[in-house]
Amino acid sequence: MAQPSLPTILVVDDEPHSVAAMRMALEDDFTVLEAVNANDAWRLMEEHWVQVVISDQRMPGKTGIELLTEVRDRWPETVRIIVTGYTESSDMIQAINDAGIYQFITKPWHPDQLLMAVRNAARLFSLAREHDRMTLEMRYLGNTASSKLEDRRRMAQAGLGFDKVLRGANSPLNATIALARQAASFDVPVLLTGEPGTGKTEIARAMHYGSLRSDRPFMELNCAGLTDEALAVELFGVKRGALSGQVQARAGLLQKADRGTLYLGGIDSLSDRMQMALLRVVRDGIFQPVGGHETLSVDVRLLTGAHDDLRDRVAKGRFRSDLFYGLAVTELSVPPLRTRGEDVEILAERFLHEVAGAHGKPVRGLSAGAVEFLVAYDWPGNLPELRNEVTRMLILAQDMTLGPELISRHILQAGSQREGERVSGMDLCQLEGTLKERVELMEMRILGETLTRLKWNKSKAAQELGLSRVGLRAKLDRYGIEPHASIAEEE
């Protein structure tokens, strides 16, 4: 994710030590450009989007006031600050006022004084632009246009809201979505629990766009697998030079999500140290950037996700109880894909058309036989595994309609059992019946999986299984194995 750029400041002074001192005072909060005279400053102004110019008054060539007057005429929105000595006359002060200069700073200046002045100037620049934008909207957008703009905004939010969470009419996910809709408008932390890949992030995003914070940022981060240092940098940001090889300061997700929503997945993996740091955010709304000593405050709604049962972790002393109760004001359980058989076909078709569109490969959809096998599978990897399988099928497909012969062997094996029985190497010992009956059941599975994978090419199947066509036909008749309807129609 691209990092937001810092406001750009231009420092103009013909004395190198003065420029260096200003840069040291400002570089943690701003991108600092440097010029030694008016000509260099003008060139930098044309090449960069500068919010604030700080110029010394006495320089060779043009004076600071002359430079800033020209800047005002060309870039009137840029805030201008001049640095002068105590000995300047009242005429100079009048010239400063006439040039429309925001503030003058007398020498010798203190770093905190300079930093505060530039921060205020940058804030003034931001407020002025926001004011101009709102003025234009009020001027050129009448009531009808404003209404249309609001409608478009609501439609955009709906596209990222609960309607984007695909599910069937009788899906087990419907109860979770109903609770999420209710909780969305209450500005409290919510904990979502469920296996990896069940769509917790998507539900959290929908809750954000269904809340009063919907016009503010939504940020997300998966905490699992991150070291404490990496997680602290991502969450809290880092000051300039705090890490080896790190040049500029960097804002964390808490700052970026201010007045919005932050979703943290995998919080069951947090160390004791990071649990304590997150507790400060939950309890007091404060944190410290990495390498910084100042304490920053933030107004952010926290939505969190966990793969394991946090209550069990709290009982075992592996998760702070005060943090758990701070995060789990409301709890939502997201069911795994294996319990959502009705949703698999809807999701698979959506994934197929999304991937086909992304790769420019036209398709009609999935055949009935393919859907039957996909629905029968357990999907231990949940949504990512289903998307990967559909993508693989698209890559291998030669026809517009994707059939079961494209499905991975382990999925075919899981779905080839008659009357819902599934046999694998791990549950052979659980089969019932005589040895002959158990062998026949395994033989049925192997025949069904092989023929499905080879698209019911009996010659290839007989060759692979070491049978004659007559022998294969006899076994199919004996076990009553027939092709799926879609394949029978093709034959």
Q: How far apart are CA 7 and CA 119, in angstroms?
A: 10
The helix or strand, by DSSP H or E, that contains position 218, with its residue range, turns out to be: strand 218-222
Shared-domain flag, residues 275 and 210? yes
- Cβ neighbours for 34, distance < 8 A, ≥ 6 positions apart: 10, 11, 19, 23
Shared-domain flag, residues 228 and 181? yes
How does residue 326 score in pLDDT terms, banded at 50, 70 and 90? very high
Chain centroid offset of residue 236 CA? 17
CATH code where residue 122 lies:
3.40.50.2300
pLDDT at 290 > cutoff 70: yes
Shared-domain flag, residues 380 and 440? no
Q: Lowest-pLDDT range, 152-166, 262-276, 313-327, 420-434? A: 420-434
Shared-domain flag, residues 250 and 166? yes
pLDDT at 139 > cutoff 80: no
What is the tens place of the pLDDT at every residue in 462-471? 888 788 887 7
Q: How far apart are CA 156 and CA 218, in angstroms?
A: 14
The answer to whether residue 145 is domain-embedded is no
The answer to whether residue 242 is domain-embedded is yes
Shared-domain flag, residues 222 and 304? yes
The answer to whether residue 140 is domain-embedded is no
pLDDT at 120 > cutoff 90: no
The answer to whether residue 243 is domain-embedded is yes
Shared-domain flag, residues 94 and 225? no
Domain boundary among 78, 100, 134: 134
CATH code where residue 407 lies:
1.10.8.60
Q: Which of 300, 266, 260 is nearest to 281 (CA)?
A: 300
Shared-domain flag, residues 401 and 444? no
Shared-domain flag, residues 369 and 273? no
The answer to whether residue 295 is domain-embedded is yes
Please tell me whether the overall predicted TM-score, pTM, comes out greater than 0.75 for this model: no
Read off the DSSP letter of residue 418: G
Quote the pLDDT of residue 140.
60
What is the tens place of the pLDDT at every residue in 153-211? 554 454 456 777 878 888 889 899 889 989 988 999 999 999 999 999 999 999 998 88
Q: Which of 95, 15, 121, 120 is nearest to 59 (CA)?
A: 15
Domain boundary among 268, 300, 335: 335
Shared-domain flag, residues 78 and 179? no
How does residue 106 score in pLDDT terms, banded at 50, 70 and 90? confident
Average pLDDT over residues 277-292: 90
Quote the pLDDT of residue 327.
94
Length, in residues, of the chain: 491
The answer to whether residue 374 is domain-embedded is yes
Q: Which of 236, 234, 188 is nearest to 213 (CA)?
A: 188
What is the tens place of the pLDDT at every residue in 39-84? 999 999 888 889 999 998 888 888 888 888 888 888 888 888 888 8
pLDDT at 148 > cutoff 60: no
Cβ(415)–Cβ(377) under 8 Å?
yes
Q: Residue 252, Cβ neighbours under 10 Å: how many?
A: 22
CATH code where residue 490 lies:
1.10.10
Number of domains in the chain: 4
Shared-domain flag, residues 290 and 407? no
Quote the pLDDT of residue 421.
45
Return the structure tokens found at 235: 């969450």
Q: Lowest-pLDDT range, 6-20, 124-138, 217-231, 310-324? A: 124-138
The answer to whether residue 422 is domain-embedded is no
Quote the pLDDT of residue 58.
84
Shared-domain flag, residues 288 and 345? no
Shared-domain flag, residues 167 and 177? yes
CATH code where residue 210 lies:
3.40.50.300
Domain boundary among 363, 383, 415: 415
3-state secondary structure of 333: strand
The identity of residue 470, as a single letter, is V
The answer to whether residue 152 is domain-embedded is no
Name the residue range of residue 12's domain. Answer: 8-134
